[in-house]
Amino acid sequence: MSDLRHYDVITSPVITEKSTLLSESNQVVFNVPRTATKPDIKAAVEALFGVNCNTGDTFTSEGLELAMSSMFVPEPVISLAITPKDKKAEERMAKALGRFSKEDPTFRSYVDPESNETIVQGMGELHLDVYIKRMRREYGADVETGAPQVAYRE
Check pLDDT > 80 for residue 135: yes
**Bridging pattern class, strands 149-150 and 30-31:** unpaired
DSSP code at position 113 = T
For 13-24, the pLDDT digits (tens) are: 667 777 677 767
- DSSP states of 52-112: ---TT-----TT----PPPPP-PPP-EEEEEEESSHHHHHHHHHHHHHHHHH-TT-EEEE-
| CATH number (domain holding residue 84) | 3.30.70.870
For 58-90, the pLDDT digits (tens) are: 666 677 777 667 778 889 999 999 999 999 999
Whose CA is closest to 9, among 38, 41, 34?
41
Number of structural domains, the chain?
2
- 47 lies in the same domain as 90: no
- Give the residues across from 126 on adjacent strands: none
pTM as predicted: 0.59
- 39 lies in the same domain as 105: no
* Top-confidence residue, 60 or 128: 128
Among 56, 71, 86, which residue terminates a domain? Answer: 71
Confidence of residue 92 (pLDDT cuts 50, 70, 90): very high
Q: Helix and strand tally (H, E) in the chain?
A: 5, 7
Residue 93: domain span: 78-150
What pLDDT is attached to residue 59?
66
Angle at CA of residue 86, ends 107 and 80, nearest 5°: 30
Question: What are the angstrom distances between the C-alpha of 71 and each of 105, 118, 142?
Answer: 10, 27, 33
